[in-house]
Chains A and B, each alone.
Chain A
């Protein structure tokens, strides 16, 4: 039972972590809470359904399911990254030198726009995500793990490891860290700040897209408003880990997922969504810089 809840929590938490990374990377670079980030996740879920539906219609899923899932993931990431890239150019870049509140309001505007755009084009009712994995699974230490759970945990783990290597080892990753530490100096060494910001949005949106697909597969239902609660939880995870910190977002996501899972089973599942907010309030009261965050930075 304990281990079972742990696995359930880890599944959920690794998805929160993927979304939280997008918040924390954008905050690290622009000191902007990108409230539209949850909607990218929601778009990912919808695009997954649409693309998988199309692949089924042309008979590819019947031919090869793994290939179809790969194509779905790749195309969804591509679309969502384009959305992220475009949103930054349209809604945030023109406000780069405006006062702090302006891009924040713009982000909320983008979020409302995207929700309504999906509601109008896809309808207000729940959409069903095809259960391609079924409920098959395996037993480990008398705990049942579905293949889907295993796939979610593995995919998230691999993506986080890849992101970590990218940020720590590649030249572009180091440029991202430089921009986060000192934008003016980064310009003076010849880093194109606009390009780094675009890459940040592309990466964050790609991770959110994968998270969207995985959650849609996990719960089986998708709605135009799912980005809101997932977004706020991932934001909580980012704050919990210390906003701006990449390892912090990973840790925060997983801690939050496990907390939610244990809270639901040992206290009450009625309060499932409340645990995240209780956590957010506690963190802001007790340790506002987060678990791995740096002290003394201004927070919104």
Chain B
């Protein structure tokens, strides 16, 4: 469904992605794991059109999307909940969700009900300023907002970062639920074990290049992955 072919991206003067190729099939959860600075976020920002690849091709259902501006990428059905949540703090919860649905893809009322169904706490806090929410609630809002554009593919960057363990498992359950609802997910995580347990397939990224790929089960059993990312 989404395919990256030999993507090179510069972040400032540094080449952050050195020829990344990966593929995500419809209905999958694919995790992208790697250490800090390996290029995970750069990869998502390149897919979202915030960074332009200097080389390579990104296709969605066969059509080229690299080089499109970010709002066109969202329009084509790819939505991202970036690292650090980045909710709009001085907008209400409802307004944040409204902005998530800015392009009017899908029926706003229906999607809103679905998001409120997944995260009932957002419905309770609907007219509260988003900046006053707790960290976990902000993460729910960030994911909820990214669902408001009715994406076919959801890019999640470190959704568990900085959350209490109980909230982490709730977020992972939610990702599973969203995927079961028909949304394809590309999950970037430092919490490699939880990510691989949840996903169907995985890629390991090191220094801007894919070094390992395979089914999540294989990766969980891989000796290198176990020592480098699972802390075993």
**A interface list, Cβ under 8 A from B:** 171, 174-175, 177-178, 181-182, 184-192
Contacts and interface: CB of A to CB of B under 8 A. Distances in A.
A156 B82 CA distance: 41
Contact of A190 (B50, B70, B88, B90): B70
A175 B98 CA distance: 10
Given A190-B102, A191-B102, A192-B71, A181 B82 contact: no
A187 B102 CA distance: 10
Contacts of A174: 91, 95, 98-99
Contacts of A178: 88, 91, 99
Interface in B92-135: 95, 98-100, 102-103
A174 B90 CA distance: 10
Nearest to B86: A185
Contact of A188 (B74, B75, B95, B98): B74
Contacts of B145: 189
B99 A188 contact: no
Given A175-B99, A175-B102, A178-B99, A188 B88 contact: no
A171 B71 CA distance: 16
Interface of B: 48-50, 69-71, 74-75, 79-80, 82, 86-91, 95, 98-100, 102-103, 145-146, 148-149
Contact of A171 (B87, B91, B98): B98
Contact of B71 (A182, A184, A185, A187): A187
A50 B29 CA distance: 65
B91 A188 contact: no
Contacts of B82: 184-185, 188
A158 B95 CA distance: 25
B69 A189 contact: no
Nearest to B89: A181
A184 B80 CA distance: 11
A178 B86 CA distance: 11
Nearest to A195: B71
A53 to B, nearest CB: 44
Given A187-B70, A189-B145, A177 B90 contact: yes
Given A188-B50, A191-B99, 11 more contacts: A171-B102, A181-B88, A185-B86, A186-B99, A187-B71, A188-B70, A188-B74, A189-B79, A189-B145, A190-B70, A192-B71
A171 B95 CA distance: 9
A190 B148 CA distance: 11
Contacts of B69: 187, 192
A54 B1 CA distance: 62
Nearest to A187: B70
A181 B85 CA distance: 13
Given A174-B95, A185-B82, A190 B103 contact: yes
A53 B146 CA distance: 54
Contacts of B89: 181
Given A175-B99, A175-B102, A190 B91 contact: no
Q: Among the interface residues A177, A182, A185, A191, which one has the most CB atoms of the partner chain B within 10 A?
A: A185
B48 to A, nearest CB: 6
A185 B80 CA distance: 9
Contacts of A191: 71, 99, 102
B48 A177 contact: no
B50 A181 contact: no
Contacts of B87: 185
A181 B87 CA distance: 9
Contacts of A177: 88, 90-91
A177 B131 CA distance: 14
Contacts of B48: 187-188
B86 A184 contact: yes
B151 to A, nearest CB: 10
